[in-house]
Structure 1
Amino acid sequence: MQDKLCQDRTVIVTGAGRGIGRAHALAFAAAGARVVVNDVGTALDGAATTETPAQQVVDEIVANGGVAVANYDDVADWQGARNLVDQAIVAFGGLDVLVNNAGFVRDRMLVNLSEDEWDAVVRVHLKGHFATMRHAAQYWRAEAKAGRTPQARVINTSSGAGLQGSVGQGNYGAAKAAIAGLTLTAAAEFGRYGVTVNAIAPAARTRMTETVFAETMAAPDAGFDAMAPENISPLVVWLGSAESGNVTGRMFEVEGGKVALAEGWRHGIPVDRGARWNPADLGPVVAELLEKGQVPEPVYGA
């Protein structure tokens, strides 16, 4: 029987009409949460369509005995993000968890990447994370000031493309790297209101990854499907529960049955001259630093 780890918690999942977001919505509902399923129903590249995948996920949750409502707001639109948060509060009396998952890709080598392709991807991923967090945090701050300190959670979605880079995905990788930094800042700022903020870097079979991970997208062997998007959701549900209150400002890599704690930029041991360096003297110093430092993770596709 499914553990009701998030019983009666209200959860927003953005981009929840398909793929990983859909899996999150279904998993939270199975864990007892009331879910706001957000999805504008766009194509892979963000173009408008007439599809309504959010309602399809809501119907599936309700058919399984869960509670959910659909939302079609654009999370990267300031008022749209506010509407999404307000809908959760009005429909279910509050908000406990925000899962930022919405996004799309417009892949191209940097030398060919257009301004519109850059702006569109950065907008939906980075601003889409910020805008929803901003309005949710405003609500949680008001609750804390009123003496009702929440046990609230934010789970953001970064990517290996943001942590290690990815050839042909400069716009997407930059946005995902920025989300990692935004997560650290939000965790430091929101803690006083009873809010934790963490991020995941998932690897699974979705519309966005089918070209990047083409070699691993073959039909799974009988048994465990390591690339199924449903593999990502258990950690996200746990991070959204009351149990995870001592974890914040962290980045988790999730793929198949693997969960890892990613460790980002850290201060290295410096070589200190005690005065301004002469450029001509820095060659051997940099060589020494590189020799002592760890070898970087390879860039995807390099």
Structure 2
Amino acid sequence: MSDPFALFIAPFGEFLFMRHALAACLALALGCGPVGMLLVLRRMSLMGDALSHAVLPGAAVGFLLSGLSLYAMTIGGAVAGLLVALIAGAVSRCTTLREDASFAALYLVAIAVGVLIISMRGTSIDLIHVLFGTILAVDDPALILVAAIATLTLFTLALIYRPLIVECFDPDFLRSVGGHGGAMHSIFLVLVVLNLVAGFTALGTLMAVGMLMLPAAAAHFWGRHFWSASLIAVVIAFFSGYSGLLLSFHCNLPSGPAIILVAGCCYAFSLLFGAKGSLLSRYRSGPHLTG
């Protein structure tokens, strides 16, 4: 196994399931990179985690009705995620409870309901499949679904890029010029849910948010503008998928956790050595004098 080709390329040339998994990682990276960066910019990172768990009861209902059917679980997960987002927004508008607190409360209930529904009919293997995913089992329909969501995400972001960025930094200005900030926020939440559903089909509900948030958090330490940081997040996400698949193949490890572990290592490296705001850059800038 000393041949670099055998180590880094041969698994994808020899096995169709590895090529499918790598293509799914690329599609996930393209969709999750910019969406994750927007979550970081809007300080909604934990909301992404909450929404990733919110899709579970819908996916569980799809499982209860149709077994491990991709389309039933995907539609159920998307409906559940959007419903939780709408309810959390309504609660924050009608009460004094902030939106992040509403999401936290609803996602805890959602994940409990989802686990209970799956346990009613499925086995522990089914539960592990839903929670942690099986990216090595991605087939053509799943790959088409993930690619379609990535394409829709990039197209939508290109259309609403300016108002979405303005709404991140100055929502009052956007409202004053009739920019429909509420609509931009709602469209963005839909994109978050769709990308979490795409990640769910490959990585499961517990791992999907890792592909969304870890590359974006790592890219925050390198990129100085939104699109440069988004591109770096895409590269980190794809590198994590590629390296995680190789790690799982050669070391006989579960693929989903291996991918997220590599993304976590990229985040740790960026936190220490990144070009912007990292521990190293702050150390080099020296102490800040005040007064």
Q: Same fold (TM over 0.5)?
A: no
Decide which structure has greater helix share: 2
Larger relative contact order, structure 1 or 2 (CA cutoff 8 Å, min sep 6)? 2
- TM-score (ref. length: structure 2): 0.29
Bigger proportion of residues as strand = 1
TM-score, L = length of structure 1: 0.29
